[in-house]
Amino acid sequence: MTAEDLLNMPDDDLRHELIKGKLLTMALAKFEHGRVVGHLTIILGHFVETNGLGVIYGAETGFKLESDPDTVRAPDIAFIRKGRVEDPESFGSGSPDLAVEVLSPSDRKGEIAEKTSQWLACGARSVWNVNPRKRTVEVFHADGQRSLLHEGDELVDDTVPGFRVLVSKIFE
């Protein structure tokens, strides 16, 4: 399957990704996952919009990371800085500046590590892995820096200039 085939699939209300030409259909998110994604999207989106920094995209947005065979992934939340926004009728090419993955209990460590590495290798400046069960955020930067933040810590990332939030606020 190609990225174009995926783009032209009929809407079936399911979430799909394309991994090296193979269609991956994901289970619907559970309540806690959806709540955390929604809440963080509001927090981050409000900051980005208020400061005119770029655009926030939701979990339905695909980014074409590889070609022949094609890989199209969709993070739970994506940020693209002003000036990089692309054709609204297609998938983004390469990674967003920031990819946010909210972990589900069924996610396996190896899969998360692979996704994180792929986002960074394809151009993301940072990736946030948000873990609702542990109430932590692990931040990975393209330069190799990595930090694990707990509820009392403040999430600050230059990928979104000026953004800061207490980790505990993400899980309220």
CB 155 within 8 A of CB 145: no
Count CA atoms within 13 Å of residue 26 on its CB side. 17
Residue ranges making up the domain that contains 13: 3-170
CATH number of the CATH domain containing 127: 3.90.1570.10
pLDDT of 131 above 80: yes
How many structural domains does the chain have? 1
**CA 1 – CA 133 distance, rounded (Å):** 35
Categorize the per-residue pLDDT at 62 as very low, low, confident or very high, splitting at 50, 70 and 90. Answer: confident
pLDDT of 37 above 80: yes
pLDDT of 5 above 90: no
